[in-house]
Chains A and B, each alone.
Chain A
């Protein structure tokens, strides 16, 4: 008599939690494909979520009879995420993609990038009511709107909620066009939104563009040493871009390297999305706190611009402060679009993109500050 029981042996071991995680994985894939929300990350994460929630999944480490059988995704996690390698390498690609010209022509724009990190610290304080300091700080960094920084900080602080933090960080980054406009409108008057800011285009020398990433690494590294890996890899990527003699490397970093790491990063992070770890009340709370972080970042930038307007002769459209979060270039575009909605002749793009780029630098510095405090 042939025994076919092996065919349904594992089917009977499927838990409700795993089915819920399949649904969550499906939602992430749906959002990536249908809504075009951060598809490069949400799609691998969604598929990975399904992969790791299959009973006795061979993709992750399994212990049978006291013997650990290595799973490919766990091996990748240990090799690339637990030591922060993948996010840091991804920063080389991101650095190679960024053109810092808007902030080099108007360095003061960087102040808005600094102000818009308020949400990180405010959310940290809020989260500390419910979580230990290391987890609270990792949750706060969701407000950096910067996936690699969030991973590095959460990993270095040994947070147990890396999966939920990643989902929140990348989902809200994709939701910037929905989250930011109501906050901006709530905090500004129509008169303020109509403020025009003429763009004084200025040329930046090649020497300045080359020196910028080197000098930033030294300045940020000396003041906040914990941020040096984050800022250093970002600026190294930018140096490759700007030096003018490494075009092939720059192109590789922007495309092949960034894409390759993104694939590994997305699917590997899903090892932290196993039902028993992810389906906790804490996850919902983290998603809520992450939203708070984005809201208060936006508010911080807008309110800082309004504060500056009290003292400056040349008025600033406070909406550009909201672009100080690191979600690049979505946030810059959102502000530009809002400006055009109020006045079709008001072009804020150059200013908002400048602020947005500075948010990239400031969020990395904020990550370094958090690591200085709790790392």
Chain B
């Protein structure tokens, strides 16, 4: 997370190196469309259509970011989650961004808890997805409004007041950030609204992601399973 120019992450700043990306999706049309949409900061170095292929390709080319569909054929039927667990050894180097048409909370939460750094819907524009890829490559988390909504729903909208349940609740500031993201604000807009730097926003979002991944409260999974629709 030690990046020299964190505050200008929204723009393609001085990138010496293009972000190396593997696209994992079982629809060839979607893969080629996505490839065409990604801008010049991004270099697609591999593609895969199934779980097994994905694990093989990712282990071989060791990309910076994997754009990962949540629903994938092959493997043991675990989809995107299985790809992440299959590449657990690379998690320090390779980062995963979940892509999904599924809005089902259980899918999204499962893939995030497996280790994905973010989640975006497939209807997102090429520009937005490029920005998200760059952000994830830099070690930050990417939250779509919907994921922020999931988080708020799962953790509740009351801020944490005691320190010892810190993993199970969001702090007041994190809640504010999540709310603004759910309202459709970009990180920059969140920063402006809360009079904080983009870097601070990113820190908050990363903290929320950590809680989402590490929180041991089983209600989270239960909640996701019950919450079939959003």
Do they bind each other? no
Residues on B facing A (Cβ under 8 Å): none
Residues on A facing B (Cβ under 8 Å): none
